Amino acid sequence: MNPIVQISLDVTNIKEALEIAEIAVEAGVDWLEAGTPLLLGEGLHAVAALRKAFPHHPIVADLKTMDGGYLEAEMMAKAGATHVVVMGVAHPATIRAVVRAANDYGIAVMGDIMAAPDPVACAQMLEANGADYIIVHTGFDERGEDPERTPYDHLDRVVGAVRIPVQAVGGLSIKQAAEMPKRGAPLVVLGAPLVIDKKEFKPSTNREELLQILRRVVAEVKGQAESEGTP
């Protein structure tokens, strides 16, 4: 598949999410993600606001569902999400419930393998139960205790073990994220807030700076696809 650039709106209020999303869309970002902090802060209202502001863009609801799969996916689909995230360490019944809801409402399921004891087996199980995408995710807290951990720890093995598209998330630099299609992970996700000023983790106060960064990443990702003749 052609590379897709997604921005994760990991802020806690709708106003900031819409401001960043507007910049991202102007820069050519393909998918908008209502990040977990945004969903915790604003709930499905955040998804509805993004859908109203950007009626034609796919919207990922990063629910990290662990139980109540059908209802959670149904609520987000009705609010305007096109993709929902279920955890691979959830009970398989929950994964199947999310998939049933996704089928009923015409949306897609992303299976996150974060914290799985066997990442490859987890990814294969998600695929077997109907997930449409796999997220190879190294968690924020995990990286905080062990900075050496990255999605690269499992990425190649997971990509080789499943047939569905893969996304890598967690601690990747902007440059590393842009190189993901070359590693077999065509869903490129950029965090927002972005780390603009070294260790400071917040939305850029400089709109033009953020716009130029995102444009550069989009151009690099899409340029790689063109140069390699990605179908």
pLDDT number for residue 202: 56
CATH of the domain at 98: 3.20.20.70
Mean pLDDT of 41-54: 98
pLDDT number for residue 223: 82
pLDDT number for residue 200: 46
pLDDT number for residue 197: 42
Statement: residue 179 has pLDDT above 50: yes
pLDDT number for residue 195: 45
> How many domains are there within the chain?
1
pLDDT number for residue 203: 58
pLDDT above 70 covers a percentage of the chain that reads 90
Please report which helix (H) or strand (E) contains residue 180, including its range: none
Statement: residue 178 has pLDDT above 50: yes
Domain residue limits at 121 = 4-227
Secondary structure class of 179 (helix, strand, coil): coil
**Helix residue ranges, H only, the chain:** 14-27, 36-42, 44-53, 69-79, 92-105, 119-128, 140-145, 155-161, 174-178, 207-227
pLDDT number for residue 67: 98
Which range has the worst mean pLDDT, 22-31, 138-147, 188-197?
A: 188-197
pLDDT above 90 covers a percentage of the chain that reads 78
DSSP state of 1: -
Task: Tell me the average pLDDT of the chain.
Answer: 91
Q: Are 50 and 32 in contact (CB under 8 A)?
A: yes
Which range has the top average pLDDT, 16-25, 104-113, 220-229? 104-113
